Copies of this chain bind each other. A is one copy, B any other.
Amino acid sequence: MGRRYDTVTLLTDYGLVDEFVGVMKSVLRDLAPHVAIVDLTHGITAYDVRGGALCLGRSVAYLPEGVVVAVVDPGVGTDRRAIAVEVADGAGVFVGPDNGLLAPAVALLGGAQRAVSLTNPDYRLDGDGGATFDGRDVFAPAAAHLCNGVDLLALGDEVDSSTLLPAAVPLPELTDGRLRGQVLWIDGFGNCQLNIGPDELDQIASGEDVVRLLVDGAASRTARRVTSFAELSQGAIGIVTDSYGMLALVLDRRSAADELGLAVADDVTLAAIDDGDGRDDGVRVELTSR
């Protein structure tokens, strides 16, 4: 027997309109009634493996010990592997498809220590239906059995963790004093998280409390570096260090994505500007149209 767990955290692109998530929870409740379930989110855009991987990566530092089931799985039913990956000396196990979804979270926790392909039929549900709902038939049962103390290696064939599909997280580029990045995530308030951290911005713009931000091209704009939304006057663009420590383009009580016409994965370039007083106290943002 392996370690037992009492929390299963879920992330999917199933949404909450259909009963998919409810059926997964029913399976968990049926097989491992002692387990508490935490819904991280079920609102990942359908099929958006990258978005799901980034979300899991943002959250992983806050997750309780236990099993994490993540399902964004356009390849369900094909020969893509279904995997369970142990991290942090067994403090956590990630369960999901081997399509890069789990990779950033696993890496942030120090990398995979043991991994299996979930091939053992004894730990799957085997119904009359087709193979289109592995959340119910493969991933939830695996999580439940792990919580009940079944050892990871009993769930299927051990996998060399170096063969797990990695995730490609884009890095910003600094060229000629311009910092070219992209939009990683737009949250429900329209805040646009970039793949650029505050230290990187400081390399091209002085760390002054008040900076300017220009969005040029079709939508050239200035903006201020702030620490809270409410510091911004109405309609003004701000750049804030968000709660995950990354830079985000924001407005006060309005959507920066709408204001700037930004979508996930759009390019954004930050550049220091000279405002004429001889001091380099601003930042210019270029939005590359899609």
Interface residues on A, range: 35 or more
Task: State which of B30, B40, B129, B137 has its C-beta within 8 Å of the C-beta of A19.
Answer: B40
- Which residues of chain B are near A241, meaning CB under 8 Å? 129-130
- Which residues of chain B are near A2, meaning CB under 8 Å? none
Where chain A touches its partner, the secondary structure class is loop
Q: Are B64 and A33 in contact (CB under 8 A)?
A: yes
Q: Are B41 and A25 in contact (CB under 8 A)?
A: no
Given contacts A40-B23, A129-B244, A130-B243, contact A77 B46 (CB under 8 A): no
Interface-lining segment among A53-61, A114-122, A212-220, A279-287: A53-61
- Chain B: minimal CB distance from A34 (Å): 10
- Which residues of chain B are near A61, meaning CB under 8 Å? 127
- Which residues of chain B are near A43, meaning CB under 8 Å? 15-18
User: Which residue of chain B is the closest to A190 with respect to CB atoms?
Assistant: B46
Q: With an 8 A cutoff between CB atoms, is A9 at the interface? A: yes
- Chain B: minimal CB distance from A41 (Å): 5
Q: With an 8 A cutoff between CB atoms, is A139 at the interface? A: no
Task: State which of B16, B27, B132 has its C-beta within 8 Å of the C-beta of A42.
Answer: B16
- Which residues of chain B are near A230, meaning CB under 8 Å? 74-78
Task: State which of B18, B63, B137, B231 has its C-beta within 8 Å of the C-beta of A187.
Answer: B18
Distance of A33 Cα from B6 Cα, bound (Å): 9
Distance of A241 Cα from B128 Cα, bound (Å): 9
Q: Are A243 and B78 in contact (CB under 8 A)?
A: no
Q: Are A29 and B36 in contact (CB under 8 A)?
A: yes
Q: With an 8 A cutoff between CB atoms, is A131 at the interface? A: yes
- Chain B: minimal CB distance from A32 (Å): 10
Q: With an 8 A cutoff between CB atoms, is A278 at the interface? A: no
Q: With an 8 A cutoff between CB atoms, is A269 at the interface? A: no
Q: With an 8 A cutoff between CB atoms, is A242 at the interface? A: yes
